[in-house]
Amino acid sequence: MQNLSLSDIYIYPVKSLTGVSLQNSQVFPHGLDNDRLLMLIDDNGLFITQRKYTQLALLSTSLKNNEFKITAPNFPDLSIRETDFLKETTYVKVWQSECDGIVASNEVNKWFSDYLDKSVRLVKYNHNKPRTTNPSYSNSGDIVSYADGYPLLVISQASLDDLNNRLDVPVTMSHFRPNIVVNGCQAYAEDSWKKIKIGEVEFDAVKKCERCILTTVDPETGVKDINRQPLNTLAEYRKEPAGVMFGMNLIPRSGGMIRRDDLVEILE
């Protein structure tokens, strides 16, 4: 096999807000450091995403000195610190997974509620009560943050390039919100991976990623594509009984640091 390398690393500190590009990241059992440990919920505890609230795509996130900064067009900036989270916990539901979260301060919740014009709360992942992965595709004790289902998502650059060759208007990797991007393999090579190693960290590749309407939201404008692209094109050649697939879900089998340009080895 060709020389594979890690070309990009992304985290999404608040689920369904913009991502942050990193040079390196620590890998934990639940995923990358600070990846989707914060999430917005409605009054019933149900998670909120760009699938319905596309304006979340316009909220940019940055991280400095353990402080998150959220910026929005024509809106005051918001800083989120550790001290903004109370001792109160609340019920949280992500798809069919039920867990809990630590509630943010009233000031933080009001900022997001005013932006969305809807009553919402920001919650922080409770490491004392971790959320488990789907046992059908993982081992007992595997955990995940507030990501949709699994700790990490990998996509090869060649897969995106192949898709863009089929589209009239190219899309970016941001449409698919991966954690890691790999260079040097053929398109969709990740479909067949079972075990990989990035730097010194090993991962199980457990399940192809089913894509949804969120991929049609332009990450720059927050507007859904009226022709449901790129999802409709993907459906022409990537549709399986379980859905339209693009990317591979990973579960870490060791800890450590991954870095851009790390060698990627296919172990199985």
Q: Which residue ranges form the domains of the chain, and what is each CATH number? A: 4-266 (2.40.33.20)
| DSSP H or E segment with residue 106 | helix 106-116
Looking at residue 65, its pLDDT comes to 85
Summarised one tens digit per residue, pLDDT across range 29-46 is 999 999 999 999 999 999
- Each residue's pLDDT expressed in tens, for the chain with a length of 268 residues: 569 999 999 999 999 999 999 999 999 999 999 999 999 999 999 999 999 999 999 999 999 888 999 999 999 999 999 999 988 999 999 998 999 999 999 999 999 999 999 999 999 999 999 999 999 999 999 999 999 999 999 999 999 999 999 999 999 999 999 999 999 999 999 999 999 999 999 999 999 999 999 999 999 999 999 999 999 999 999 999 999 999 999 999 999 999 999 999 999 9
CB atoms within 10 A of CB 136: 7
**Which residues neighbour 126 within 8 Å (Cβ) at sequence distance 6 or greater?**
89, 99, 100, 101, 102
Residue 78 in contact with residue 84, Cβ under 8 Å? no
Q: How many Cα atoms within 13 Å fall on the side-chain side of residue 164?
A: 12
User: How far apart (Å, rounded) are the C-alpha atoms in residues 7 and 138?
Assistant: 26
Residue 61 in contact with residue 219, Cβ under 8 Å? no
Q: Coil, strand, or helix at residue 5? A: strand
One-letter-per-residue 3-state SS of 10-25: EECCECCCCCEEECEE
Looking at residue 64, its pLDDT comes to 87
Summarised one tens digit per residue, pLDDT across range 140-162 is 999 999 999 999 999 999 999 99
Residue 106 in contact with residue 119, Cβ under 8 Å? no
- Mark 35-69 as b/e (b = at least 16 C-beta within 10 Å): bbbbbbbeeebebbbbeebbebbbbebeeeeeebe
Looking at residue 2, its pLDDT comes to 67
